[in-house]
Structure 1
């Protein structure tokens, strides 16, 4: 994190004057240039979606000395298979953007250096289908154009040296699965110049959309096939791209890929950082090449290259600024970076007085901070003097105060922080760094305390239906805000069981809270009588954001619970070995039974009766149970049977099952039940002995076939009818009256009868007619 603090401001008039003088000096020292245009460039391939990609080329053009006729409206790019250099496809790149490249410090701009960035792009996007672009060695893209700047100082015959822009990318399928990759978008373009004898640095670090690892190195720029006489592919191959390998440029004597320009040290780039650095030892214009390789899971998958050039000028001398420090608010003993540690203690000074200056007239200085291993909030600057260094009537040295926050705590370890002062010199600012060692101890803060009125006799005992309540009091000696919390131990969750902890408003250093728990049946443990633990905590947050907690209070609680099952007695018949007893009651007769319940725990008892699959009232049953005293209950059952709700099968009435239950009002109730079967008693029938002969001869004896002893009608089992058939199956008589009389119709012989009831019962027989 960088925190800038600018102390000096140029006036417009002064800034313009300085820029004009600087430009004149640099222009006079610059080498002449003729017929120049291409500064450098690189290719870029970005994944869009599916099989679609965007191919672009950035071309950097000399806006001062460039030949306008060399500014192309389009380029032809070729995509080749790396395994055999076979041309796969041709792509046309059209000019879509033309802008100036910005300087790092616009005030340092010179008239001899101005660069345009030209962006060329395939307008219809690029299709890379997996059935074509599947070569395991991958592919490369190339664009060729001549020529470079005549004024380049480090290569042979620069005016005839061409450029081949080059990029590698992997197959779009790997292991049978899609393999997507976007090439790294490398480093911002370079528009600045370097000063001879001064360290020059520039950040060329790139970005990769896929998160691949990037590695940078210096490479020899590529020349390719084009020449000054044939500057484009259209001149030498009818605009058909030519495959590699591409001939590199030729370095001047004593130079190479690892020593591309005169310097001490020479031009280098950080393999991981992408940071260019050089201290040039000669004025001139120097071309250089940088390669950015991308790796995925340790395997190289592609690369992109940039050709560029750096101009070295003889600049006005710029002396570095300097910064010193004085601890505290008084005293004149300087802080010694290599020996002293700034110790920040409660009640002591937490500031460092900074004195910084610059021998160069009219310099504007800027302070910033850089962490080495410093943690926490950065300190802040405050200025007591502002003005321009060496301005008339002002002190030569500027003063600022650096104050560390009160809450800084280095945890007993020394933290290091760099204080950096930078000037506004050209081409790049110069700096001085003061490394400050800090050991900080924050102001002590007392711990909170917590007490309760639960009492000393523990565990607390409570029964279901009772309410447990007591108060808590938390105190913080510093008056920090107090927060309460309620929890339970070993899986016990009091809040889920209805327990609450309500905190009151804090008054000064104290904050009270009320615990309240209406104990219900869910609080009964299994088995009953086990200890449950209530845990109360009180925490505070100090002004420095440190969380502090009082020792927690744990209060054990036992929910007492025991229960003896109630006793049910009645005048109902007892169960038999075969199950619930059967009670038969004749139609029109009344049946009554009494039930009583008793509970030694004095729990409230409730008696009820329920029919299985029927409503008691629908079949003439009634159960009454008036409210009784605690631990007592009584009830009366009665039944006056009718045919309503009674069904009969084969002359037998269906059973009505009634369950009587004694229920107690307690947490783990043990209801007592009695089940009784009830049925309507079937009327007693005489023995059914139908006659089997009649003599309809007029002697008034056995004149008719009649059945006086038929089984009686019983609810829905009623006589339906009689049919009489001849021996040949012909029906000769039918009646639906129980009192039917059949005289045989004067024809003797054997006849057969069929008697049916509404419930499906059937009686068959025969009768002999003897006239």
Structure 2
């Protein structure tokens, strides 16, 4: 390589018609040009074995300098003819590789498929055997080669196969395409050999698949109903069998399904139970559920023998009627008089559970005498409103006032819950009292005969004998009874008073009844 003095030259080689790395064929990889401008001499050492077995091969020898700013390079293309050492291919002396060999072996035996595999090489090269198999490892399935003789030019091996399911997974795979390659160790390690091809099969013992039975393929069930059936599986071989179930896109327990399944010999029966409640199901997302029941046996060779049954459950959501109230929207009430109203609502679906309540806590009027309880009922619901209005509910000068009470009824017909509300107006008025209609009884007979034995002015059959009711303008205060001398012999501030006449002689007595704004006076005759 000739260049200017002092230039540093780098040498490399590249194969043109082959891909092997050949940069190391230079004895020296690089060197400088000396000050005298002498040439740089290097040796190129070509391999004894050709890079291509049957044709010349081409190499570019490239020299590069490091001149600045424009490095230069020069290339010499060389064509080499290298004759490889002579080599004859090894061959099978027994058995012949001319045809594919077919072998079927019963499960559970360990056999030498061919007594010997004999490979020979006329060049007396050393020999080796190896497996050629796609997508599986022969050793993982009990296949082995055991050397019997290994000399220059000849090698003998036993081709053995252990077909026991206890040791190898023939339940997963029991047929095999296998090549056994014979190759020599020639000087240049060219690919040269002979191959035996086998079609192998392990004959597995008979095994019947388990069978599922019990449920239908399709069920239509209304929401708030239940679904129950038994699932059974049997295996004619009486193998251990499993029974399980899973939902397509959902967890069985999360939707309220109870199913145990299990592992038994020969027969399994397991109950399936499902409460199709709104709490378990999200009907707004789906109304169709696919459930898969799977049974599989555990036979000696662990073959995959399964039976699967799909059950589709369609959840039916019926139309829902709104509940309706059976009350009016207006009622009149009087102060101090108890008002009773049965608040009733019904549902056209008849089976829905209804809940009746005030629409809100603010729906109740500001009255201690108001009472209404939340209630539930199937198809029909009622709750009793009782109300004895107080004077404080009236307006100025005891003017009539109106109060609105809001009631709500709703059903449990999921997922389409229906409700209804009603606003009822209650008109509260002052109690009109005719004080002139009061005619107090004027005699009683405390003789113990059970008739007219006490003197009272309440709860009497004839209304005119009872004390006038209280209203906001006038209320009962007291009753006082005097004898002829003006002495007080009985007094009470209770409207429910009872005078027995004890200690009093027969004769005439005087009473005074005081209301806040009204007074009554008269006589009472005590007859013994």
Q: TM-score range by the shorter chain?
A: 0.5 to 0.7
Note if 1:356 corresponds to 2:119.
yes
Aligned: 1:340 with 2:100 = yes
Deviation at residue 434 of structure 1 after TM alignment? 1.2
* Residue matched to 1:262: 81
Distance in 2, Cα, partners of 1:598 & 1:197? 99
Which residue does 1:4 correspond to in 2?
A: none
What TM-score comes out, normalization by structure 1 length? Answer: 0.39
- Counterpart CA distance in 1 for 2:370 and 2:262 is 57
Secondary structure of 2:80's aligned partner: coil
1:337-486 matches, within 5 Å, as 337-344=97-104, 346=106, 351-352=113-114, 353-358=116-121, 365-371=127-133, 374-378=134-138, 382-385=144-147, 388-389=150-151, 397-401=155-159, 403=161, 406=170, 415=177, 417-423=179-185, 425-428=186-189, 431-438=192-199, 440=201, 443=204, 446-453=207-214, 464=224, 466=226, 468-475=228-235, 477=237, 479=239, 482-486=242-246
Q: Which residue matches 1:703?
A: none
Q: 2 CA distance for matches of 1:642 and 1:194?
A: 127
Q: Once the 2 structures are TM-superposed, how far is the Cα of residue 502 of structure 1 from its aligned partner?
A: 1.6
Could you say if the C-alpha distance between residues 596 and 397 of structure 1 is closer, same or farther in structure 2, counting changes exceeding 3 Å?
closer
CA contact (8 A) 2:99 2:197 kept: no
Confirm or deny: 8 A CA contact 2:402 2:427 kept in the other structure. Answer: yes
What is the distance in 1 between the residues matched to 2:427 and 2:13? 106
Change (3 A) 1:465 1:550: closer
2:373 aligned with 1:616, yes or no?
Answer: no
Greater shift, 554-563 or 655-664, is seen at 554-563
| Alpha carbons of structure 1 residues 250 and 41: separation in structure 2 relative to 1, 3 Å | closer
Tell me how far apart the structure 1 counterparts of residues 51 and 360 of structure 2 sit (CA, whole Å): 110
Question: Could you tell me the TM-score, scaled by structure 2's length?
Answer: 0.54
User: Corresponding residue for 1:149?
Assistant: 42
Tell me how far apart the structure 2 counterparts of residues 569 and 466 of structure 1 sit (CA, whole Å): 33
| The structure with more radius of gyration | 2
Instruction: Supply the distance in 1 between the matched residues of 2:423 and 2:121 (Cα, whole angstroms).
Output: 108
Q: What SS is found at the alignment partner of 1:220? A: strand
Is contact 1:611-1:658 (8 Å) kept?
no
Alignment-derived partner of residue 514 in structure 1: 271
- 1:633 aligned onto 2:382: yes
**Aligned-partner Cα distance in 2 for 1:66–1:321:** 40
User: How many pairs are equivalent?
Assistant: 391
What is the DSSP-based 3-state SS (H/G/I as helix, E as strand, rest coil) of the residue aligned with 1:249?
A: strand
2:423 to 675, 678, 692: 675
1:240 matched to 2:212? The reply is: no
Residue 382 of structure 2 aligns to a residue whose secondary structure is strand
| Partner Cα distance (2:206, 2:308) in 1 | 16
Q: Give the distance between the partners of 1:621 and 1:446, measured in 2 at CA.
A: 82
1:23-74: CA deviation from partner (whole Å, max 9, x where unpaired): xxxxxxxxxxxxxx987368xxxxxxxxxxxxxxx97486xx659xx668xx
Shift of 1:389: 1.2
Aligned residue for 1:338, secondary structure, equals coil
**Superposition map of 1:40-439 within 5 A:** 40=12, 60=24, 66=28, 147=40, 149-150=42-43, 193-195=47-49, 199=53, 220-223=60-63, 233=66, 239-242=67-70, 246-249=73-76, 251=78, 260-263=79-82, 279-280=83-84, 321-325=90-94, 334=95, 336-344=96-104, 346=106, 351-352=113-114, 353-358=116-121, 365-371=127-133, 374-378=134-138, 382-385=144-147, 388-389=150-151, 397-401=155-159, 403=161, 406=170, 415=177, 417-423=179-185, 425-428=186-189, 431-438=192-199
Q: Is the 8 A contact 1:610 1:616 kept in 2?
A: no
Quick one: which of 306, 309, 323 aligns to 1:549? 306
Does the C-alpha gap of structure 1 residues 563 and 628 become closer, same or farther in structure 2, counting only changes over 3 Å?
same
Query: In 2, are the aligned partners of 1:449 and 1:551 still within 8 Å (CA)?
Result: no
Question: What RMSD in Å do the two structures reach over aligned CA positions?
Answer: 5.6
Specify whether residues 546 and 197 from structure 1 end up closer, same or farther in structure 2 by C-alpha distance, changes over 3 A only: same
CA contact (8 A) 1:500 1:517 kept: yes
Which ranges in structure 1 are unaligned for 5 or more consecutive residues? 1-36, 43-57, 73-144, 154-192, 202-216, 225-231, 234-238, 252-259, 264-278, 281-314, 326-333, 575-580, 683-771
Report the alpha carbon displacement of residue 433 of structure 1 after superposing the two structures with TM.
2.3
- Residues 344-387 of structure 1 deviation map (CA, whole Å, 9 limit, x = unaligned): 354696835422345667x654322234xx44443565354456
Structure 1 residue aligned with 2:260 = 502
Contact 1:408 1:440 in 2 (8 A): no
Give the CA deviation at 1:520: 1.7
> 1:469, 1:515 within 8 Å by CA — same for their partners in 2?
yes
Decide whether aligned partners of structure 1 residues 455 and 219 sit closer, same or farther in structure 2, where only a CA change above 3 A counts.
closer
Q: CA deviation at 1:151?
A: 5.7
Kept in 1: contact 2:257–2:274 (CA 8 A): yes
Report Cα offsets for 1:67-111 as digits up to 9, x if no partner.
Answer: 9xx668xxxxxxxxxxxxxxxxxxxxxxxxxxxxxxxxxxxxxxx
